[in-house]
Amino acid sequence: MDNRPRGREKHISGTSQGVFRRGESLGGGPVGKRKGSSGRGPEGGGGSPFTIILIILALIFGGGGGMLSGLFSDDSSPAQSSSQSQPQLSIPVAQDMDFSEPTTTAQVDVNVANGARDKYTTIKGNKKDQTTIMVYMCGTDLESRSGMATNDLKEMAKAASSDQVNLVIYTGGCAKWQIRGISNQVNQIYQVKDGQLMTLESNMGAKSMTDPNTLTEFIKYATKKFPANRYDLIMWDHGSGSINGYGYDQNYQRSGSMTLSKMNQALKNAGTKFDFIGFDACLMATAETASMLKEHADYMIASEEVEPGIGWYYTPWLEKYVKNPSMDTLSIGKNIIDSYVEECARRVGRQGTTLSIVDLAEFDALVPSPLKNWSKATSERIQKNDYKSIAQARHNTREFNQSKIDQCDFVDFLKKMDTKESKSLAQALLSSIKYNRTSSNMSNAYGLSIYFPNKKPSNVSVATQINNDIGLEKEFNSVLKDYASLQIAGQTVAQENGNTGNPYSSLFGQPISSGTSNQDETAQILQSLFYSMLSGRDRSGMTLDEEETTQYIAENQFDASQLVWKEKNGKPILSLSEEQWSLVTELEKNTFVDDGSGFIDLGCDNTFEFDKNGNLVGESEPTWLAINEQPVAYYHASTVYFSDDNYSYKGYVPAILNGERVDLLIVFDQDNPSGYIAGSIRNYDNMETETVSKVDRELQDGDVLEFICDYYDYNGQYQSSYRLGNAITVKTDKLKVSDVYLTEKTRITYKITDIYSQEYWTPALQ
């Protein structure tokens, strides 16, 4: 029974306070959007599944990234010499690698592999160095709503200053600055000196801060006005990593984010080599970011996970830097990381934190060759009918940002693949990650993530184009395409044979499927798929064979016709073969409440039960997640199991916090098995930005919290979203997450996700 998904345990505290919608329609579309939805409800729309799949494959193999948005949306220390040279050491061979080492690095790794280039920055030593620190501060809603930029500017001002360490700030991108004097009309440049914010340029024009030309202009200005032998750059704002890059300008929303391709161009045009480039922004510690920055800087400092709102803690590390302007860069990085993680632990201890420093010279020397070898070997595994084990490894890997952007920890992914090539690549990555520190509740985060498709294969087109722009190995693009094309082909076969359904076909007892397709049927579908997509097209970068792919999918397709409840000992039982369970990557309970006019959707939770024979036992006494006994709409987002007694489940609850739309982050782990609210993240209902906001803060006494649910009519059509239950005035010492018994009329269906990320629903239980 090792093939069964693992779910969280229920902790029942009593009976619910009632499930009911209240007030007027909130509008804005579903708060619990599902994969494949177009904003019109669970069934989506806009063409047949086959047509949509063809469009996505066209994007993967034929370009045209402008059509991507929404198609498959998943809304549902050490001393250095003056030249910074370090002892030359070779990395250990792959067979010697020990994956049992802790994620957090105890000490800075001062070793450098043979072949790493000399550092761009030459440190003079003996406190004779001149440094210019540039902070590109796009204040955005982080500042206008919460004053986060103001707080960080105050932290900078508290540190000592000197003529040898010049701290220069470029401001903009914010509708309302909380600190007096900073303009929300034009961009400006300031210097932090002697505890003051001194104006250098009061009007740099009104320009988008996600425009790469704006970044180039700032860098050129700072290097000309404050020439130095050491230059550091900190990018402050939202971040979203591999696909969407950096930045959200609140004043120029239509300008979008600054992708890695655009940032690469900005840095090239500026022509400055940096000692380090850091991101006080979410999700930027990716292998793609490191690959892009290797031509521009010696080190990268960034976070794999969403950052807590307080961000970096500037005072202590700046104090130390000012006292010793010749401090080696790894020590500076360690000070930044330690102060950040420790301050977050003190002030927002329940929020997960990650921060690492990567030696980009070593990354450039060590990673390309094993990345190429791993990519080739992984493509060969896909071609040789081993897609399933790769899909299972990918699904079980540490995810970031609740699986919304398909970024996972690269080393953890390689660890779970467990091949010779994956071990060699993991060792190369770990050797370039010089110091990595995480909060105690953030395991399996080794310092660098990667985009690898899981829920959103439609992003492969954008990812491969960015990878081409930044010079990432072409073999990696090939494995992305191979994996995504087989994933989409598997979805196509299931959908064309009517094997998928949706929660509403289950609620109304409509048949889900007529059984899994045979090889002849699969061949016909895929032949059409391949012909439509590849006739007359350039097949470079795609290595899948049509006949072998057809056979593989026919032999490894989930049989939805087996989703039948049978009664045993007075309980509903669902029985699947071990072979079928091996195709399942995720299992969730989807609960609806019938209020007499339609259905209140309570979301998807990973609570389920198996009997001793490995059969799924349907819930006969309905329960659901609640906050202070008030049932909420909850959406499970990610599961990470490190061992039997070390795990983490994360999800979100759509809510209104003090009148503002947010998602509450809910975490279950071994220390808090009944769960807790880790904080809130602003929800961008109107697609203001594809980047990710920092976690605002933990809830405070006096906060007013209202919950939100989606509402559907009896035809399965989304009607609107409403407030759910009664409002709560927060008392933090009384705030409790638990499970409660539901007394209303419910319908429960279980959602199964297979290795192709295709979803199926069981018949509903009443």
Give pLDDT, residue 70: 26
Q: How far apart are alpha carbons 171 and 627 in whole angstroms?
A: 40
Please identify which residue in the block is written with the tokens 């390689």. 414
- At residue 359, does pLDDT exceed 60? yes
- Residues 6 or more apart whose CB falls under 8 angstroms from that of 85 comprise 118, 119
Q: Are strands 165-172 and 131-138 parallel, antiparallel or unpaired?
A: parallel
Q: How confident is the model at residue 65 (pLDDT cuts 50, 70, 90)?
A: very low
CA atoms within 13 A on the CB side of 276: 24
- At residue 35, does pLDDT exceed 80? no
Average pLDDT over residues 175-186: 94
Give pLDDT, residue 671: 86
Q: How confident is the model at residue 254 (pLDDT cuts 50, 70, 90)?
A: confident
* Tens-place pLDDT, residues 96-112: 444 444 566 668 888 87
Q: What is the mean pLDDT of the chain?
A: 85
- At residue 297, does pLDDT exceed 70? yes
- The two three-digit tokens of residue 213, written as one number: 């030309």
- Between 602 and 458, where is the model more confident? 602
- At residue 138, does pLDDT exceed 80? yes
Give pLDDT, residue 441: 81
Of 103-107, 129-133, 728-732, give the lowest mean pLDDT range.
103-107
Average pLDDT over residues 15-44: 69
- The two three-digit tokens of residue 377, written as one number: 């070997």
**Sign (positive/negative) of CA torsion 109, 112, 113, 118?**
positive
Give pLDDT, residue 486: 87
- The two three-digit tokens of residue 195, written as one number: 């505890």
Q: How confident is the model at residue 587 (pLDDT cuts 50, 70, 90)?
A: very high
* Tens-place pLDDT, residues 312-344: 999 999 999 999 999 999 999 999 999 999 999
Q: How confident is the model at residue 680 (pLDDT cuts 50, 70, 90)?
A: confident
Other beta carbons less than 10 A from residue 465's beta carbon:
16
Give pLDDT, residue 231: 98
Q: Are 353 and 341 in contact (CB under 8 A)?
A: yes
CA atoms within 13 A on the CB side of 265: 11
Q: How far apart are alpha carbons 497 and 67 in whole angstroms?
A: 26
* Tens-place pLDDT, residues 532-567: 444 433 445 555 667 777 788 888 889 888 999 999
Other beta carbons less than 10 A from residue 338's beta carbon:
16
Q: How confident is the model at residue 38 (pLDDT cuts 50, 70, 90)?
A: very low
Of 425-439, 509-523, 704-718, 737-751, give the lowest mean pLDDT range.
509-523
List 636's β-bridge partners, or say none: 651
- The two three-digit tokens of residue 579, written as one number: 């072979």
- At residue 407, does pLDDT exceed 50? yes
High-pLDDT (> 70) share of the chain, %: 82
**Closest Cα partner for 398 from 325, 469, 450?**
450
Q: How far apart are alpha carbons 408 and 414 in whole angstroms?
A: 10
- Between 429 and 81, where is the model more confident? 429
Q: What is the pTM of this model?
A: 0.87
* Tens-place pLDDT, residues 681-723: 887 755 556 677 777 667 889 999 999 999 999 888 899 999 9
3-state DSSP of 464-518:
HHHHHHHCCCHHHHHHHHHHHHHHHHHHHHHHHCCCCCCHHHHHCCCCCCCCCCC
Of 36-40, 484-488, 633-637, give the lowest mean pLDDT range.
36-40
- Between 552 and 635, where is the model more confident? 635
Give pLDDT, residue 403: 56
